[in-house]
Every structure is written in structure tokens, then in C-alpha cells.
Structure 1
Amino acid sequence: MSFIGTIKRRFSPGQSNQQHPAAATQQAAPTNVEFKGYAVTDASNWSSFNVIDFQPKTWEDTDIELAITHCGVCGSDVHTITSGWGSFPTPLVVGHEIIGKVTRVGSKVKGFKVGDRAGVGAQIGACYSCRACKTDNEQYCPKKINTYAGEYPDGVKTQGGYSMAIRAHEQFVFPIPEKLESRYAASMLCAGLTVYSPLKRHGAGPGKKVGILGIGGLGHYAVLFAKAMGSEVYAFTHSESKVEDIKKMGADHVIVTDEASGKLSRLMFEVMKSYGGSSTHSAPYTTHLYWLDAVATGKARMNDPCH
């Protein structure tokens, strides 16, 4: 059975009959609360998941707690548990395309109340004091905390969205529009925002041309968003079978790359790989992203698509 099929068959956070660990609505949270999640407990047997209890983030007055109803399956989840990006701590609950209902809010939280629908993406914390954080670029923070396989300053390990609940700083919790169904909203917390960010930063809109290389999980969102912004959209794909669907998404031009023009795809792959810390001489990905911030020197900000 596939990874996705295993998740659906053996664990569905929104269908539990047990009392939810985040069901209380009081402002203060007990310190001994444990959440349940569906975890890889043995890195050598990544396709076998087990339900575990885990300690959530230590409660603070700026925190929000969600009862999780939906969580998408991101390629990052598979890359992580198959050790494609190196070793990972176990037990590990993956998942960072999270939608749920607010069950608890801290006394300093503004803009959320119990019962609201909200989402959490791939990042769940930052230092809140560096140059990146102070300019609304927390994703470049050298001390960023990932939603799973990360660690808070007090040593608590972060666990992801294949779980019953999640607790997060309000800065990394986002309201979900009423008309947007949770099953569609979930993947926007990762794939969607990864492509929306550069489109927004670089002014995609009427009179602008946008080229999108690769129309997959992220690329199809890029086509939809760029078109909705009013841009003229060029979609590049090596799959002839995708052409009609890409046109239905709104692309103005669809270019199918052949073996010769496929050199462009390979070149872009090499560029992307150079950012990923794939050799012993490369810096960690988050450090490299921070180096790309050239604002302090007066130059334009680099903007690799980033969660």
C-alpha cells in the first residue's frame, strides 16, 4: 500500500471518537498535556507508523492550540522519512499542511477565538529578533523552527500534523477563509504559499509575464495564482499528457520541452541542488537563505521560493 494510502487507512485525526487532548477552552494550558500522533518510530522501517504520545510546545500566552481536522501529504514528508535529506530524529510525526479548529488561545493572542478555523504550515517558530524577523521575513531566520523534526529552545521536539492537535505561536497560525474548504486549503499552507510568495514579491499582475517551470504539486498552484493575479502565464512541462489540464488551469502558453530544450530543466535542477547542502562543502539550507538576504547592502532581495 502507498504511503498516502497507509496514512488514510490507519490514522485519521478528524475521525477519532476519543476526547481531543486540546478540547478544553480555558486560556491557561496544563503542563502535563500530551498529544497523540502517527509517527515513524524506526528510521529503517519508514513505511511503518505507530500512534505515539508526545509533548507539545511549552504553553505561552502568545500561543494558539488547534484540534487538527485535515493534513496534506507533502513531498517533504516523504523525503524526510525516507532519509532523502539525511537522518531524522525518531519518533517523528511529519505533516506540515495543517488545518484545524482553534480550541485554546493565549491571553496575548489577537485575531483568533475558540472555534475559528485556522492553519499551520511548514514553519512554527523563529527568534523574532533578527533582521529577517524584524522585516517580516521569518522564513530566512537562521534560528527558524520547522513544524516537525525541529526543536524549541527549551528542548521540546516539534511534531507535525499527522496528529490530534498542534500548539503554535500566533505568528505562524493563519485564518482560513470561510468559503475555502479545508480539504483544499491544507496544501496551500505549503505548496501554495511557496509559489505565492515570489509571485507577490515580484509584482505578478496585469502587464507582467510569468514563466513556470514544472507543473506539478507546486507548479499548478503557480499557474492558478499567476493567472488570478492577471499575469500572462507561460507554463513549461516535459509531459505532453498534461497540456490540456494546464490550459484548463488558465495558462496562456504551454511549452512542452523536448530532449534538446530539456537542457533548461537540467540546468535549473543543478542551480536548485546547489542550494540544498548536497555536498560537504555546502552550508545548511536555512543558513544559505539567510546569506541571500542582501538588503543590508542596499541591493535587491534574492527570492528563492521558500516555505
Structure 2
Amino acid sequence: MVNSCRDCTNCLKGEEQYCLKGNTLTYGAQDKDGTLTQGGYSTHVVVTEDFVVRIPEGLGLDEAAPLLCAGVTTYSPLRHWGAGPGKKVAVIGLGGLGHLGVKLAHAMGAEVTVLSQSLKKMDDGLRLGADHYYATSDPDTFEKLAGTFDVILNTVSGNLDRGAYMNLLALDGAFVTLGASSEPEISFPTFAVAANRRVFTYSLIAGLRETQELLDFCAEQGIGAEIEVIPAEKINEAYERVLASDVRYRFVIDISTLA
């Protein structure tokens, strides 16, 4: 998102994504001049220096591109909820968001578990930094891991049995949803939250301060997104592959091929 002011409380805290005066979305929204924002399909962008981040040396532009979206979306809640040494983090889903959540939580020093519907991506998950990998289609998973995690990142957009996942949290643990649900309203697992003083919350992307912090952290740790670079003419094909879960784990468009 692009923030729309420089004087609200949240923006002054460096949390522009929570601007109290509203945000202009970077894609498919009306910009200040009345034009439509183009997001990642833009050939160029003009901004003030306050809204520019620096890509550190050693971090390729192609693998850095998804960090500006999926990277900060997972980094921000991990930092906010204290992921680090001695903490246990679970990541639901090993996809475009989830694979970066695993990499970042591991680099922060947390013990990382992937919770996926099946074990078909287990080798990838362990390679990316997960310490454990469980299939949520196995009912024993929820019994074995009850009361385990300090933080759970939900990176999937599908509907979940929230009560079952909340019961995986330890005392004062946080369940953070990043993917949008298709449900107009959600049922809230009140007892599963209250039973161990757990937190059920959401998180948006990140502000400029945290985005630069992420980029510097990734450069220091040698972290980039797992990508496949495609020319513009293959965008429709790439979209179909996303629907078929046939990408590991982010497509990056070579903008020089955009006519």
C-alpha cells in the first residue's frame, strides 16, 4: 500500500499500512491524480524520497521483488510477536507467503514447524529451514502438537477449523492470519482463545521502516524468495499454474518484456 498522509499517528510511527486517513492501494485503485494504480505491472513509478527503500548489495532485484510483498507480510508479524531463539513458530501452508515465513522465522532463530495439508512439500520445507513438518490431514497432528506454539502464521486463504488450530497455541500464543478468507464473516472460537489467553488476530503488509529493515536483514542472512522469472507474455499461463499450485514459490515478471 501507499500511505496517504504524513501526519497521522500511525504514519508517524512508521506504520503507514495502518494510516488512519486511508491508503491508496498499489494495484487496481484510484490514485491521487485519478489514474488507476498498476502495481507490479508498472513500467515506472514516481515517488518522494520518503517512500523509497534501498535494495542492499548482494540481494538480487529479482529475488528481492517478492520480499516487498510476501516478505514483509510475514516478517512484520514475526517481529511483532517476538519470533526468535526459544520461540516455536508454526507456518500454515508452504506457498508464496509460507516459504518466506519459514525462511525468516528460521533466520530469526525460532524453532519452525510447517503445517501443510499433505507431506508432498516436506523436502522443500526442511530445505528452507523448517525443523518439523506435519500433515494437517492427519488427526493425530492436532493431538500431538496441542499447546505447542508461540506464534502461528496462517498463510492460506482457505477456510480452516480455527478452534483446532487455536488449540495448538501455548499460553499467550498468537494466531496471525495473513491470507484473506472467502467467508463474509467468520465464526470465532471463543473458548479456544480464552482457555490459554491466546490471541486471534490479522496483519497487513508493513510500513517503510520495517520494509527497509527486512531488506537489510535478508541481505545479511542471504535470504531471497524462491522464484521463477517469466516474460510478460506468459502472465496468463503463470496465472493458470498458480491456480493449479504449480509454482515454487513466486513468479517474477521481467518488466523489460512488457510492451
Query: Normalising by structure 2, what TM-score?
Result: 0.55
Corresponding residue for 1:267? 161
Corresponding residue for 1:225? 104
| 2:125 partner amino acid | I
- For structure 1, list consecutive stretches of 5 or more residues without a partner in the other structure: 1-122, 283-300
Q: Is the 8 A contact 1:198 1:303 kept in 2?
A: no
Q: Is the 8 A contact 2:118 2:134 kept in 1?
A: no
Q: Is the 8 A contact 1:212 1:233 kept in 2?
A: yes
| Distance in 1 between residues matched to 2:29 and 2:74, nearest whole Å | 23
Q: Is the 8 A contact 2:11 2:19 kept in 1?
A: yes
| 2:64 partner amino acid | A
Corresponding residue for 1:140? 18
| Distance in 2 between residues matched to 1:273 and 1:181, nearest whole Å | 25
Corresponding residue for 1:71? none
- Whether 1:254 and 2:133 are equivalent positions in the alignment is yes
Selected match of 2:113 from 231, 234, 244: 234
Deviation at 1:129, TM superposition (A): 2.1
Deviation at 1:228, TM superposition (A): 0.5
Q: Is the 8 A contact 1:213 1:235 kept in 2?
A: yes
| Distance in 2 between residues matched to 1:155 and 1:180, nearest whole Å | 35
Deviation at 1:191, TM superposition (A): 0.7
Selected match of 2:61 from 154, 178, 182: 182
Corresponding residue for 1:204? 83
| 1:306 partner amino acid | L
Distance 1:238 1:203, change over 3 A: same
Corresponding residue for 1:155? 34
Deviation at 1:232, TM superposition (A): 0.7
Counterpart secondary structure, 1:128: coil
Corresponding residue for 2:243? none
Selected match of 2:5 from 121, 124, 127: 127
Counterpart secondary structure, 1:164: coil
Deviation at 1:127, TM superposition (A): 2.0
| Distance in 1 between residues matched to 2:43 and 2:181, nearest whole Å | 32
Corresponding residue for 1:70? none
Q: Is the 8 A contact 1:234 1:252 kept in 2?
A: yes
| 2:19 partner amino acid | C
Selected match of 1:244 from 116, 123, 126: 123
Distance 1:170 1:125, change over 3 A: farther
Corresponding residue for 1:305? 203
| 2:16 partner amino acid | E
Query: Normalising by structure 1, what TM-score?
Result: 0.47
How many residues end up aligned between the 2 structures?
166
| Distance in 2 between residues matched to 1:170 and 1:124, nearest whole Å | 13
> Which protein has the larger Cα radius of gyration, Structure 1 or Structure 2?
1
Identity of aligned residues (%): 39
| Distance in 2 between residues matched to 1:148 and 1:159, nearest whole Å | 5
| Distance in 1 between residues matched to 2:137 and 2:103, nearest whole Å | 24
Selected match of 2:44 from 159, 165, 171: 165
| Distance in 2 between residues matched to 1:257 and 1:169, nearest whole Å | 46
Higher relative contact order (CA 8 A, sep 6+): 2
Q: Is the 8 A contact 2:178 2:204 kept in 1?
A: no
Deviations 1:115-170 (A, max 9, x none): xxxxxxxx123222222212221111241111122234443432223232112233
- Aligned 1:109-128 pairs, distance under 5 A: 123-128=1-6
Q: Is the 8 A contact 1:160 1:166 kept in 2?
A: no
